C-alpha cells in the first residue's frame, strides 16, 4: 500500500484520504463518518482505523482495505464525547480521553469480531486531554492541561486496566499545562507540548514509571505572541527533529534533537494554515502535513533532512473543521 494520510473533517462528517506517495496530497477519496469524526488512531497492523465521534458520543472502528479504502466495521456507544483515542503497541486495547467529563477509558478490541468492549473507566480531573502507553505498554501517561498534571499508571494487560502509581501524578514546578506527548523512537525520553505556556518539555521516565522534567523550551520566536495555545507534537521517525503546533501564532515550531541526550533546540517557527490543531509526518520522515481547523486547509511541507526546516509545497482547502491528521504506510 502506498503511503496515505487520513484527515477527519468534523464539519462534513467525512474522513478524507490522500495518496502521499509523491509528497503532495493527491487522489483524494472521501468516506462517510456520521457523528462528528475527530480523534483517530490506526492499529499497529495497519488494518483498522479507530475514530472518536464527538457529536454522537461513539467509538467507531473502520476496516482499512488494501487500497486504503475505508469500510465500517463496528461501533461502541460512549457516555461522553472523546477528545482523544490511542492504542497499545500490540493493537489489543483502545485508550480514550474525555475532556469535559474528566475521564479516561480502556476498550478491548476483538480482531475477529471487531467488537470493542469497555474494560475500565476512570474519573481523573476535568480537561484530561490524551492517553499514551510507553513502548513496552508497561506504563501509561495521561496529560491534563487544566490542573497542570500528568497522571501516571501501570497497565495491566490481562485485565485491560490502569493502576495508579505512587505518587499518582506528576505536577511540574512551573506553569506548563501538558496536552499531548510523543516518545523518542530510540532514546529513553519523551516530549510534551504544553498548551497554556506555549512550551515543549523533555521528560525522563524512571524504571518504576515515575518521570522527571529536565528541559523546557518555548514554541514561539523570541518576541513571543499573545493569545497562543499549543496543540500537537510529533518527532520525526529518525528522532532527529521535533515539531509542535501553535494555535494563534499559527505556526509549527521546529526543533533539532540532540542524538545523545534528546535535548531540543528551537530553530524556526514556520507559518501554517490557521488554527493547526493537528499535523503528522509521513512514514519516511520526508514530509509534514498540517491542517487548519479554522481555515479548512491542508498544507504540505518538505522536511529538510539536514536542518529539519519546513518548505511549503502546497496549501489547499479540503473541507470544514479538519480535526485530525494521520499518516500510514504498509
Contacts 24+ apart (CB under 8 A), 214-223: 214/263, 215/263, 215/264, 216/174, 216/176, 217/255, 217/264, 217/265, 217/266, 218/253, 218/266, 219/193, 219/244, 219/246, 219/253, 219/266, 219/269, 220/246, 220/249, 220/253, 220/269, 221/269
End-to-end CA distance of the chain: 5
pLDDT band at residue 330 under the 50/70/90 scheme: confident
- Give CB contacts under 8 A, 24+ apart, made by 300-309: 300/20, 300/23, 300/24, 300/25, 301/252, 301/270, 302/23, 303/236, 303/241, 307/256, 307/267, 308/236, 308/240, 308/241, 308/254, 308/255, 308/256, 308/267, 309/254, 309/267, 309/268, 309/270
Q: What is the reported pLDDT for 57?
A: 98
Q: For 73-113, what is each residue's pLDDT tens digit? A: 999 999 999 999 999 999 999 999 999 999 999 999 999 99
The pTM of this model reads: 0.97
Share of the chain above pLDDT 90, in %: 98
Residue 299 confidence (pLDDT): 98
Predicted confidence at residue 2, as pLDDT, reads 87
**Residue pair 236/280 in contact by the 8 Å Cβ criterion:** no
- pLDDT(114) > 80: yes
Task: Provide mean pLDDT across the span 230-258.
Answer: 98
Q: Which residue has the cell 491528521?
A: 325
Which residues neighbour 197 within 8 Å (Cβ) at sequence distance 6 or greater?
A: 174, 175, 176, 177
What is the tens place of the pLDDT at every residue in 185-227?
999 999 999 999 999 999 999 999 999 999 999 999 999 899 9
Residue 30's pLDDT is: 98
Sign of CA dihedral 50, 281, 233, 137: positive
Are the beta carbons of 254 and 288 closer than 8 angstroms?
A: no
- Taking the C-alpha atoms of residue 139 and residue 170, their distance in angstroms, rounded to an integer, is 14
Please check the confidence at residue 1 and state whether its pLDDT lies above 80.
no
Measured torsion, CA atoms of residues 44, 45, 46, 49, in degrees rounded to the nearest 10: -70
Residue 257: the pLDDT is: 98
Amino acid at each position: 500500500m502506498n503511503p496515505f494520510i487520513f484527515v477527519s473533517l468534523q464539519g462534513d462528517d467525512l474522513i478524507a484520504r490522500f495518496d502521499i506517495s509523491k509528497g503532495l496530497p493527491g487522489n483524494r477519496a472521501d468516506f462517510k463518518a456520521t457523528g462528528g469524526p475527530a480523534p483517530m488512531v490506526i492499529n499497529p497492523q495497519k488494518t483498522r482505523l479507530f475514530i472518536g465521534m464527538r457529536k454522537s458520543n461513539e467509538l467507531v472502528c473502520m476496516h482499512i482495505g488494501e487500497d486504503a479504502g475505508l469500510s465500517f466495521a463496528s461501533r461502541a456507544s460512549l457516555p461522553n464525547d472523546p477528545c482523544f483515542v490511542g492504542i497499545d503497541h500490540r493493537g489489543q486495547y483502545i485508550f480514550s480521553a474525555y475532556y469535559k467529563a474528566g475521564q479516561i477509558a480502556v476498550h478491548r478490541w476483538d480482531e475477529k469480531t471487531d467488537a470493542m468492549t469497555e474494560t475500565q473507566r476512570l474519573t481523573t480531573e476535568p480537561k484530561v486531554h490524551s492517553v499514551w502507553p510507553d513502548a513496552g505498554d508497561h506504563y501509561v501517561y495521561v496529560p491534563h492541561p487544566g490542573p497542570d498534571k500528568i497522571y501516571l499508571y501501570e497497565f495491566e494487560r490481562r485485565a485491560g486496566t490502569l493502576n495508579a502509581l505512587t505518587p499518582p501524578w506528576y505536577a511540574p514546578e512551573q506553569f506548563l499545562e501538558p496536552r499531548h506527548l510523543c516518545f523518542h523512537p530510540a532514546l529513553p525520553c519523551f516530549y510534551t507540548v504544553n498548551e497554556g505556556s506555549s512550551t515543549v518539555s523533555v521528560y525522563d521516565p524512571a524504571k518504576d514509571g515515575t518521570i522527571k522534567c529536565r528541559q523546557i523550551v518555548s514554541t514561539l520566536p523570541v518576541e513571543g505572541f499573545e493569545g497562543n495555545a499549543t496543540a500537537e507534537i510529533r518527532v520525526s521517525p529518525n528522532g532527529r527533529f521535533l515539531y509542535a503546533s501553535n494555535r494563534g501564532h499559527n505556526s509549527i515550531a521546529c526543533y533539532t534533537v540532540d542524538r545523545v541526550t534528546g535535548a531540543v533546540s528551537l530553530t524556526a517557527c514556520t507559518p501554517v494554515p490557521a488554527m493547526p490543531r493537528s499535523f503528522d509526518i509521513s512514514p519516511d520522515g520526508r514530509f509534514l502535513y498540517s491542517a487548519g481547523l479554522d481555515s479548512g486547509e491542508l498544507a504540505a511541507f518538505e522536511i529538510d533532512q539536514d536542518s529539519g526546516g519546513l518548505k511549503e509545497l502546497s496549501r489547499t482547502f479540503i473541507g470544514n473543521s479538519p480535526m485530525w491528521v494521520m499518516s500510514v504506510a504498509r
